[in-house]
Copies of this chain bind each other. A is one copy, B any other.
């Protein structure tokens, strides 16, 4: 059987997935893709309390999605690999497709109307 078993690897795999499954962490990753930043810069950019940012960074760092480099008093965070952004973009593409699909379904179900005027644009 080619289906992988529920072993530790799958758990690690899910850890990677859940790490990028939090809205604030998504924002952090896009912010770091734009440029490496220290914690304070992220706090300001995301308008989020510093402990919250640090906790999310800890999650991302534990899963090796970001790396931290101390520079004096600051700790500069950056993406371990820009690949993660490609992954997020691919997911966002799937999201866009599914939204299109859903609005088509709505249009079909409500057959008395034309295609729903409000098309969500990602």
Contact = CB atoms under 8 A, between A and B. Distances in A.
A10 interface: yes
Interface residues of A, number: 48
A23 B3 contact: no
Contact of A64 (B14, B88, B101): B101
For the complex, would chain A's binding face be called helix, strand, loop or mixed by DSSP majority?
A: helix
B81 A94 contact: yes
A2 to B, nearest CB: 6
A101 B63 CA distance: 11
A53 interface: no
A115 B63 CA distance: 21
B95 A16 contact: yes
Interface of A: 1-4, 6, 9-14, 16-18, 20-24, 26-27, 30-31, 34, 45-46, 63-65, 80-81, 83-84, 86-88, 90-95, 97-99, 101-102, 122
